[in-house]
């Protein structure tokens, strides 16, 4: 088993990260605000193909990436969320703009980026910026910007857009200024320029999956290379500060099976973000069982003290819920996905493992204080605070291979509690849909590898073609559209066909 390692500023070397003292002892945990006997959602609205969700500055509007477009939702009354607008079937320069898994909002600007995965030239590759001062009528601002590369995720701060710019030669962070007459690239930073030997590792193993920015520091989730902290006070010249990692370059150069390395622990830095103080960093690891030895299962969330950004210190690990079948094609995902740290609490999504709130006021001893799941219908992509101390939102996705989950946006109370009669994730008799246990000791799944059969409920039998935006043959790390070739890619193709039929 490879041990957790910590690379400190200036390439000083690797060392074991040890737990430290609590950071946020002054914060209080969520307390019950109602007398309800069971913790339950406040409301729900259906959104086909939902993926990432972000909350506007006022906390009343949620913007949802929806694979074939995006949607805006009014949650002013969280018990009755209202779908305000859906922008579907986007087309720029006579090419479809599809596989939109991420949007970001700041003020009246909304950035919409895609495609999320490597695709052919029949899809538009880049991002579009919308004026959402009236969220019921988003207005495209200027011409969409064509990057020539796919965009899995991005981050918007004021009029600066940070984009993950992956390609087989390098995986740079690319920074754009949106404030001028024309969109302009103003800076970039590349792992393979910073550490050239990473060029010898498969590009999907060092994939730049996501970026988060707070107080002039960018946090880059670089898959098995770790999470990198950059000084972006001058966005034209990003500078390395430090990084945290569970593996080393030497470990990755020695890996014989790149696909297993992409899918399984250790590593898999998928989403990294800090709390509102900037002192506590969370690193979520999207991973599945691979049968390759310890550790072998769904990825959790690691917490680090980054009060000194040049010297991160590991505090604790929050493990993912365990499941009957933890393979990527098993139809029961419980690995960590996107989350938010706010006011001494962690709001986390675990796909079919549900949503949780953890008290992290002492990050060395996180405590779960709320949880809810419905693995048959909800596969949560993210959890985001809407109103501090009152409400958070979570988006559910249909994009889990071999699973019956539905696209939707949920609203939840911020209070302590647990769903009554919470469904087991390990007992097949307690699951409302069929999940087969792995067949052998190596974790090989007994379930179907044919995601399309389950996702399309029979489908229309059409063969995919390039005009519908087929992906390239390479898989992309991240959401097993990410890492498992047929599974998630087939599910996305099914959703594209549904969209084509509905238009």
- Per-residue pLDDT of 459-488, as tens digits, reads 223 333 333 333 333 444 444 343 333 233
Across the range 338-344, mean pLDDT stands at 98
Give 438's pLDDT tier (boundaries 50, 70, 90). confident
pLDDT in tens, 60-102: 999 999 999 999 999 999 999 999 999 999 999 999 999 999 9
The alpha carbon of 320 is separated from its chain's Cα centroid by a whole number of angstroms, namely 15
Count of CB atoms within 10 A of residue 12's CB? 11
Distance CA 403, CA 405 (A): 6
Give 257's pLDDT tier (boundaries 50, 70, 90). very high
Answer whether residue 214 shows pLDDT above 60. yes
Across the range 422-429, mean pLDDT stands at 96
Give 440's pLDDT tier (boundaries 50, 70, 90). low
Answer whether residue 188 shows pLDDT above 90. yes
Are the C-beta atoms of residues 249 and 332 closer than 8 Å to each other? no
Domains of the chain (ranges, CATH numbers):
5-502 (2.130.10.10)
User: For strand 95-96 and strand 43-46, is the pairing parallel, antiparallel, or unpaired?
Assistant: unpaired
The per-residue pLDDT for 37 is 65
Q: What angle do CA 349, 469, 290 make, to 5 degrees?
A: 45
Which is nearest to 377 in space by CA: 320, 419, 438?
419
pLDDT in tens, 8-50: 333 333 222 323 333 333 334 454 444 446 999 999 999 999 9
The per-residue pLDDT for 98 is 96
Mean pLDDT for the chain?
A: 85
Three-state DSSP at 35 gives coil
Residues 6+ apart with CB under 8 A from 457: none
Give 235's pLDDT tier (boundaries 50, 70, 90). very high
Answer whether residue 284 shows pLDDT above 90. yes
490 vs 281, higher pLDDT: 281
Are the C-beta atoms of residues 238 and 246 closer than 8 Å to each other? no
Which is nearest to 114 in space by CA: 75, 69, 171, 72?
69
Answer whether residue 311 shows pLDDT above 70. yes
Give 261's pLDDT tier (boundaries 50, 70, 90). very high
Across the range 371-383, mean pLDDT stands at 98
Across the range 252-281, mean pLDDT stands at 96
Which is nearest to 432 in space by CA: 390, 392, 403?
403
Which strand (E) or helix (H) includes residue 497? Answer: helix 486-502
Count of CB atoms within 10 A of residue 258's CB? 17
Across the range 157-165, mean pLDDT stands at 98
Tokens at 376, concatenated: 């048959």
Nearest 5°: phi and psi at 15?
-155, 160
pTM of the predicted structure, to 2 decimals:
0.86
């Amino acid at each position: 088993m490879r041990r957790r390692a910590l690379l400190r500023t200036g390439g000083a070397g690797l060392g074991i990260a040890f737990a430290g003292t609590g950071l946020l002892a002054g914060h209080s945990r969520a307390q019950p605000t109602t007398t309800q006997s069971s913790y339950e959602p406040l409301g729900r609205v259906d959104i086909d193909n939902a993926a990432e969700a972000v909350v506007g500055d006022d906390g009343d509007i949620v913007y949802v990436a929806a694979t074939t477009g995006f949607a805006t939702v009014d949650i002013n009354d969280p018990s009755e969320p209202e779908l305000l607008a859906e922008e579907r079937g986007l087309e720029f320069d006579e090419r479809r703009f599809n596989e939109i898994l991420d949007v970001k909002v700041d003020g009246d600007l909304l950035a919409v980026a895609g495609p999320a995965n490597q695709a052919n030239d029949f899809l538009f590759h880049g991002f579009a910026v919308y004026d959402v001062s009236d969220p019921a009528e988003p207005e495209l601002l200027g011409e969409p910007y064509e990057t020539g590369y796919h965009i899995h995720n991005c981050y918007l701060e004021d009029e600066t857009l940070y984009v993950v710019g992956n390609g087989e030669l390098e995986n740079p962070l690319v920074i754009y200024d949106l404030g001028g007459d024309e969109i302009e690239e103003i800076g970039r930073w590349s792992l393979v320029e910073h550490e050239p030997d990473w060029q010898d590792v498969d590009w999907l193993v060092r994939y730049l999956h996501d970026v988060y920015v707070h107080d002039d520091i960018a946090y880059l989730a670089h898959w098995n290379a770790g999470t990198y902290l950059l000084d972006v006070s001058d966005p034209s010249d990003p500078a390395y500060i430090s990084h945290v990692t569970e593996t080393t370059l030497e470990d990755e150069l020695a890996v014989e099976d790149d696909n297993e390395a992409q899918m399984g622990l250790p590593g898999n830095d998928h989403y990294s973000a800090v709390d509102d103080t900037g002192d506590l960093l969370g690193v979520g690891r999207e991973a599945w069982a691979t049968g390759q030895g310890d550790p072998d299962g769904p990825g959790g969330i690691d917490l680090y003290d980054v009060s000194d950004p040049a010297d991160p210190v590991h505090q604790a690990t929050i493990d993912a819920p365990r499941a009957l079948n933890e393979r990527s094609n098993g139809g029961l995902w419980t690995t960590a996905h996107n989350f938010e740290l706010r006011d001494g609490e962690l709001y986390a999504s675990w796909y079919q493992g549900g949503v949780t709130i953890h008290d992290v006021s002492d990050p060395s001893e996180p405590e779960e204080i709320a949880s809810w799941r419905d693995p048959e219908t909800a596969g949560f992509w993210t959890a985001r605070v809407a109103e501090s101390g009152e409400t958070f939102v979570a988006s559910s996705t249909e994009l889990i291979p071999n699973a019956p989950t539905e696209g939707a946006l949920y609203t939840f109370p911020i209070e302590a509690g647990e769903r009554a009669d919470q469904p087991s994730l390990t007992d097949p008799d307690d699951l409302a849909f069929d999940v087969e246990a792995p067949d052998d000791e190596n974790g090989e799944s007994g379930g179907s590898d044919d995601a399309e059969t389950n996702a399309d409920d029979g489908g229309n039998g059409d063969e995919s073609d390039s005009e519908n935006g087929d992906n390239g043959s390479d898989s992309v790390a991240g959401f097993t559209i990410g890492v498992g070739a047929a599974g998630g890619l087939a599910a996305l193709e099914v959703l594209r066909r549904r969209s084509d039929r509905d238009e």
